[in-house]
Copies of this chain bind each other. A is one copy, B any other.
């Protein structure tokens, strides 16, 4: 099934509008290209609606939000909703400042999202109004482990039901859930957290997958999460003892570029709960 999801990205080359942070934006663009889709970045209020109109998916990332771009996020999100385009939210650092938390809530109120992708602390902030965010990384006390996985799955499903969308909580174990079904995904490598923006890149990748698979957002998001994790594994296997996080960053994007739908299908490690 994931093979087909990925094939659809490569077949349809969806154009993805990204309103994202200036830290990881280049990697997001190259990641979207690597998977076979096409990125456009535009964040001015005077063009975001028009740009979203020519695209087939929208990715909103609040990583370096400001008053000017928040307005653009809201305008683009509403226009995408009007056009029934899928919209992904990456609530980077929700919980780390009132501005981030309130902006995330405002976006949730005014825009219907297809997928919300974040780490467990960010998603907890959205779900219960508070998380123990350590900056833009998940707090240790929040982390999803084999021990608390059932509980985390229930949490993810409940929040997905409440937010009426797919929720992707990524970490050592990833959970991609709607109200009824959760994919627990065990792809990936711990070293991915030593690169800035693997989460941002995954959100952009997810936007491409859901844009190419409009009727299956849960499966498409799960496929994107597996693809990213698998790329992390493949890239890690190439590292020499001299290579560090910068080369690893390049190799992960490379791995998505080289990944075939069949290899994704074969390499995806998940269970449905």
Give the Cβ gap from A47 to chain B, nearest Cβ, in Å.
4
Complex contact A243–B247 (CB within 8 A): no
Interface residues of A in 193-225 (CB under 8 A from B): 194-197
| Interface contact B238-A257, CB-CB below 8 Å | no
B38 near A137 with CB under 8 A, answer yes
Q: Which of A19-46 contact B (CB under 8 A)?
A: 21-27, 29-30, 33-34, 38-44, 46
Q: Report which of B55, B93, B249, B256 forms a contact with A42, defined as CB distance below 8 A.
A: B93
Q: Does A65 contact B (CB under 8 A)?
A: yes
Stretch at the interface among A79-87, A94-102, A118-126: A94-102
Is B27 touching A23 in the complex (CB atoms < 8 A)? no
Q: Are A97 and B47 in contact (CB under 8 A)?
A: yes
CB closest chain-B residue, reference A258: B244
Verify if A253 is at the interface (C-beta below 8 Å from B). yes
Interface size of A by CB at 8 A reads 64
Known pairs A25-B22, A25-B23; A30 contacts B249 (CB<8 A): yes
The reply on A51 being an interface residue by CB < 8 A is: yes
- Are A135's CB and B258's CB within 8 A? no
From A137, A196, A241, A254, name the one whose CB has the most chain B CB atoms within 10 angstroms. A196
Chain B residues whose C-beta falls within 8 Å of the C-beta of A30 in the assembled complex: 195-196, 245-246, 249
A272 within 8 A of B: no
A64 touches B41 (CB 8 A): yes
Whether A97 contacts B42 in the complex (CB less than 8 A), given A134-B15, A244-B254, A247-B254, comes out as: yes
Q: Are A135 and B40 in contact (CB under 8 A)?
A: yes
- Most chain B CB inside 10 Å of its own CB: which residue of A41, A93, A197: A41
A245 and B47 contacting across the interface, CB-CB below 8 Å: no
**What is the chain B residue whose CB lies nearest that of A21?**
B41
A143 CB → nearest B CB, Å: 15
Contact of A197 among B26, B65, B246 (CB under 8 A): B26
Cα distance, A251 to B96, chains bound together (Å): 32
Shortest 6 CB-CB distances between A and B: which pairs? A244-B257, A244-B254, A246-B253, A29-B196, A47-B97, A47-B99
15 contacts between A and B (CB under 8 A): A23-B26, A30-B195, A30-B245, A40-B93, A40-B96, A47-B97, A50-B96, A50-B97, A54-B96, A54-B134, A55-B135, A194-B257, A238-B242, A244-B257, A249-B250
Known A41-B63, A42-B64; further 5 A-B contacts with Cβ < 8 A? A40-B136, A51-B97, A54-B96, A242-B254, A246-B253
